[in-house]
Amino acid sequence: MADVVSPEVRSRMMAGIRGVNTKPELMLRKGLFADGLRYRLHVRSLPGKPDIVFPRFKAVLFTHGCFWHGHDCPLFKMPSSRREFWEAKILRNREVDARSEVGLRDLGWRYGIIWECALKGKSRLPFPNVIAQCSSWLHSNKPTMEIRGAR
């Protein structure tokens, strides 16, 4: 199916998508704060500049957009135009994610990933369950956590 907007307009639209303070991230932060958890945001000194940092637990959370990180879920569809560009971009994002995870692990930090599909769309999970899973993981000593939408 052909795009309904010109390439210039599409480029401007895609460039306007934020990398920080996204809706899923804000939603998660509000839920965690309401649950009594305190955190820091986007700590530049840590690998990957995590979205939410819990120094007390030596743990971080990333909120990954399913499109930008090429998640295998209903929210991700590879664009049909400029396919090579998008495949390379998503591959680079995944490589950066992997390097960040290794860097955090090497520094003794735990990391969790909350996928966008867990918070929106048909596969979303009940929000209180997502917050409870995050809280439970933070209070545990498990090295990693991943929350994805229902299958």
Which residues are known catalytic residues? 51, 63, 69, 97
Q: What gap in Å lies between CA 148 and CA 72, rounded to an integer?
A: 10
Residue given tokens 């692990």 in the structure block: 105
Is the separation of the CB atoms in 100 and 47 below 8 Å? yes
Concatenated DSSP letters of 70-86: T-SSTT----STTHHHH
